[in-house]
Amino acid sequence: MKFPTGMARLAAGLALTWLFVLGAGMPGARPAFALAPEYALCENSIATAEEAFDIPGQLLMAIALVESGRWNAEQDRIVAWPWTVYAQGQGRYFASAAEAIAAVRRLQAEGVGNIDVGCMQINLHHHPHAFASLEGAFTPERNVHYAASFLTELFDAKRSWAAAAAFYHSATPKYAKPYRKKVIDFWNVERRRIAELKRAEREEELRRRRQEQERLRAERDAKPAIS
């Protein structure tokens, strides 16, 4: 992920900022994201950001899967992983934010600056002002918020979501083109998966309604007739 551009969209930024405040600013409160299992942290943040920034559904998710995807046996699919670090040609998945932060600090102490972090693999060299701290960089909602802002700016410049996705990775065609194909492939898979989930939800809702109607009918039939 490379080459930041100008200011993010104000409205979307304010929307997510309030989400952070409401979730984390009140004494004793925890953000809703923090209550989710690790595999869902990126997904929850991405769903919120796609809506806030008016990004086509599952496109940001597809980018995340290309950037930080790992196999999750429990879900039987690839998921974006929030504690992912990529540096020196090697990607690593850590069990916690603390472990990922420690790894980045070790790399920085060794003079390594070109490091990708988090759900959306924000590059700390090309985006030096993206986060106030490494803790912020590995906070899924903040990591995703920055990526959504960046992707939206690219769309504003290119007027194409496919082109924006390609430039999210690189402005060099030989790198951008194969990356775009990976994103489109994941995007198609994710849209089908979500469509199937929604269809299953609709069928389940219809089943519950039929059961309730049958229960009410049985109750009426069981009542003695009033003569």
Question: 15 or 78: which carries more pLDDT confidence?
Answer: 78
Which of the four pLDDT bands, split at 50, 70 and 90, describes residue 26? very low
124: left (phi over 0), alpha (psi -120 to 50) or beta: alpha
pLDDT digits (tens, 9 = 90+) for 87-121: 999 999 999 999 999 999 999 999 999 999 999 99
The answer to whether the CB of 71 falls within 8 A of the CB of 99 is: no
Mean pLDDT (whole number) for 62-88: 96
Quick one: average pLDDT of 51-75? Answer: 96
- The pLDDT assigned to 123 comes to 98
pLDDT confidence of residue 227: 56
Average pLDDT, the chain: 86
Q: Using DSSP bridges, classify how beta strands 90-93 and 69-72 pair: parallel, antiparallel or unpaired.
A: unpaired
154-202 residue pLDDT tens: 999 999 999 999 999 999 999 999 999 999 999 999 999 999 988 988 9
The confidence score (pLDDT) of residue 197 equals 87
Q: Pick the range with the lowest mean pLDDT from 7-16, 36-45, 121-130.
A: 7-16
CA angle, 172 then 114 then 119, to 5°: 85
pLDDT band at 37 (very low <50, low <70, confident <90, very high): confident
pLDDT digits (tens, 9 = 90+) for 195-224: 998 898 899 999 999 999 988 888 888 877
Asked if residue 145 has pLDDT above 50, the reply is yes
Integer Cα distance of 174 and 136 in angstroms: 32
For the chain, the structural domain boundaries read: 10-82+115-222
pTM score, two decimals?
Answer: 0.78
- On the question of pLDDT at 6 being above 80, the answer is no
The total number of residues written for the chain in this structure: 227
